[in-house]
Structure 1
Amino acid sequence: MSCIVVDDEQHAIDVLVHFIKQVPFLELRGTSTSPLQALQMVNAEKVDLVFLDVQMPDISGIDFIKAINGKCKVILTTAYSEFAAEGFELEVVDYLLKPVPFPRFLKAVQRVADSIESRAESSQVDMLEDDYLFVKTEAKGKMLRINLQDIDYIESLKNYVAFHYNGTRTLALLSMKELDDRLPVRHFMRVNRSFIIALRRITGVEGNMIRLRNIDTPIVLGDTYRAAFMEKMKGKLMG
């Protein structure tokens, strides 16, 4: 999920950039202390999410939201709670009060990820309408159908990825980033640099080890991916 940070205070930008680097599904496209420059960034490239300060010179965060006219999701960041009501009237996803604690930040970005999931899925009709995808295999000119519901996990192997499903392994000419961007986030999640797992296959989590159904060897939960994974698991946690 691509994002930018807009704030007239560099220190505030630095804090959010530090947080963004800890969330695997966030991709920082840029930062700016100028809202006018940030408007150009939004118009020039694909941006899914803007972290936006409210009180800035030239134009306010509220006017910025009106100017982008729904092109991307917005999380407001400010030291003043009185702007919350107006922000929500403009359909911002969340409102973060400075200083922003990381758990609260993570909750807000997960909310954004959930809110754009349906939009992302609608752009993947070839994958999701019938719950399958076609991949180019290592054999030249060969394409293979893989049902999403059959996938146990996907493993990175240098220039290839390996789909593990139904007790078999298929190599495909894809990158992990391509899969991370396209697979439905409701059902799949990257848990370290080399593995994407099917969430429905999880049978347990022990420390930093994730156990999957019918898979003998547990998969390591990477430190960089832990916070996002645990936030995802909270929705299923009882007691």
Structure 2
Amino acid sequence: MNWFPGRSPAASASATCSAVCSCSIPNGTCWSSFPNRIAFLYRLKCTCMPSEPLQCLIVEDEDDAVHILRTYIAQMPCLSLVAVCRDTITADQVLQNQKVDLVFLDIDLPGKSGIEWKRGIAETMQVIFTTADVAFGAEGFELDAVDYLLKPFSYGRFLRSLDRYQRLQGKPAMDSSAVLLAENRPFLMVRVERMLRKVYVDELLYIEARRNHLLFYLDSGTVKVYQPIRSIEDRLPQAFFLRIHRSFIVAIRRVRAYSSTIIQVEDVRLPLGRSYQSSVQDVLSR
């Protein structure tokens, strides 16, 4: 099969709203400019960070939390991920052999808890606690942790933790506009069972239509949505999402390769409908 890399039109999107834009996203951004702008700001604020990337360690046993942290760290050129450990025993081994500047540490771990482990490591080791239990927060701060992240946490909250790390190191704060923009990301409110749930657009990989519901495939997992695919398609920014089949909509920036019959979104191969081949070719060949 012949594969060709997909190209997103995001690269040529304007960084500011046009005069006729009717969106309400703050700081002069709009649907069509958002992914480009936020990526730029993420990199801009890294100029305040050390010339050498901060060496980060993730100590976490939940797959979803690991995936989110990996995704956030990968957005930051000034951060480098040393390793992911599922328990504190493995983390000890990493610290013996690797330079680590900052640890993202879950509190509820198998065997020794994150709190116990923090008490036993060097006081100079900088730690950001992560947990789903709000009751652990006070104890974490008593151990001089950099910050405490309550799962699930947003890009903006993650950036504020890094900003706090900067301040504690006596270094310039990060660009506040990047944090503000990350905390005001475009989102959809979608019907999940009997509730409406907020889904951030930049976390969407693709959408699949099933018999009586949709599946939203996100960075953080899968969400079952009870709405027609057409109603969702009409609400998504056309510059960044593409219908490839009667049952699939994909995020263009997540397309890694395509052929005349298949679209690869990250590591998943999806069917390309015959009636959509021409429009898909037009968009991905730009």
TM-score by length of 2: 0.42
TM-score by length of 1: 0.49
Higher strand share: 1
| Higher RCO (C-alpha 8 Å, min separation 6) | 2
